[in-house]
Homo-oligomer: A and B are copies of this chain.
Amino acid sequence: MRVIVDAMGGDNAPQAIIEGCCIGLCQHPDMHITLVGDKDIIEKEIKKQGCDISRIEIVGTTEVIDMAEPAVEAIRKKKDSSMVVGLKLLKEKKGDAFLTAGSTGAAVAGSTLIVKRMKGVKRPAIAPLLPTETGKVLLLDGGANAECRPSFLAQFALMGSIYMKNVEGVENPALGLVNNGAEAGKGNELTKAAYKLIEKLPVNFAGNAEGRDLVNGDYDVLVCDGFTGNVIMKFMEGMAKALMTMIKKELGASVRTKLGAAIAMPAFRNFKKSMDYKEYGGALLLGIDGAVVKAHGSSDAKAIKSALRQVAGIIGGDVVNVIRNEISKTKIED
Residues on B with C-beta less than 8 A from A250 are: 266-268, 270-271, 274
Q: Is A257 an interface residue (CB 8 A)?
A: yes
Residues of A in contact with B (beta carbons under 8 Å apart)? 68, 132-133, 143, 146-147, 178, 180-181, 183, 187-189, 191, 210-216, 226-228, 230-243, 245-247, 250-251, 253-254, 256-257, 259-268, 270-271, 274-275
Contact check, A232 vs B211: say whether CB atoms are below 8 A apart. Answer: yes
In the complex, how many angstroms separate the beta carbon of A66 from the nearest chain B beta carbon? 12
Contact check, B267 vs A263: say whether CB atoms are below 8 A apart. Answer: no
Contact check, B264 vs A260: say whether CB atoms are below 8 A apart. Answer: yes
Task: Using A180-B146, A246-B271 as known contacts, say yes or no to A211 and B188 having CB atoms under 8 A apart.
Answer: no
Q: Which residue of B lies closest to A233 (CB)?
A: B211
Number of copies of this chain that the complex holds: 2
Q: How far is A264 from B252 in the complex, measured between Cα atoms in Å?
A: 10
Q: How far is A264 from B268 in the complex, measured between Cα atoms in Å?
A: 12
User: Which of A210, A212, A241, A266 has the most chain B CB atoms closer than 10 A to its own CB?
Assistant: A212
Contact check, A178 vs B231: say whether CB atoms are below 8 A apart. Answer: yes
Q: Which residue of B lies closest to A245 (CB)?
A: B133
Q: Which residue of B lies closest to A142 (CB)?
A: B180
8 CB < 8 A contacts A-B: A133-B245, A210-B234, A211-B238, A231-B232, A251-B264, A260-B260, A261-B264, A264-B264
Contact check, A257 vs B246: say whether CB atoms are below 8 A apart. Answer: no
Contact partner of A270 among B230, B253, B263, B268, CB < 8 A? B253
Residues on B with C-beta less than 8 A from A132 are: 242
Residues on B with C-beta less than 8 A from A211 are: 230-238
Residues on B with C-beta less than 8 A from A242 are: 132-133, 215-216
Q: How far is A264 from B267 in the complex, measured between Cα atoms in Å?
A: 13
Residues on B with C-beta less than 8 A from A268 are: 247, 250
Residues on B with C-beta less than 8 A from A213 are: 238
Residues on B with C-beta less than 8 A from A227 are: 180, 187-188, 191, 228
Q: How far is A30 from B143 in the complex, measured between Cα atoms in Å?
A: 51
Q: How far is A270 from B263 in the complex, measured between Cα atoms in Å?
A: 19
Q: Which residue of B lies closest to A187 (CB)?
A: B146
Residues on B with C-beta less than 8 A from A236 are: 211, 235, 239
Q: Which residue of B lies closest to A104 (CB)?
A: B181
Contact partner of A263 among B187, B191, B256, B271, CB < 8 A? B256
In the complex, how many angstroms separate the beta carbon of A199 from the nearest chain B beta carbon? 20
In the complex, how many angstroms separate the beta carbon of A140 from the nearest chain B beta carbon? 14
User: Which of A187, A188, A211, A240 has the most chain B CB atoms closer than 10 A to its own CB?
Assistant: A211
Given contacts A180-B226, A228-B228, A259-B260, 5 further A-B contacts (CB under 8 A): A68-B183, A210-B234, A211-B232, A214-B235, A239-B243
Contact partner of A189 among B147, B238, B259, CB < 8 A? B147
Across the A-B interface, the 5 shortest Cβ-Cβ residue pairs: A260-B264, A211-B234, A260-B263, A211-B235, A212-B238
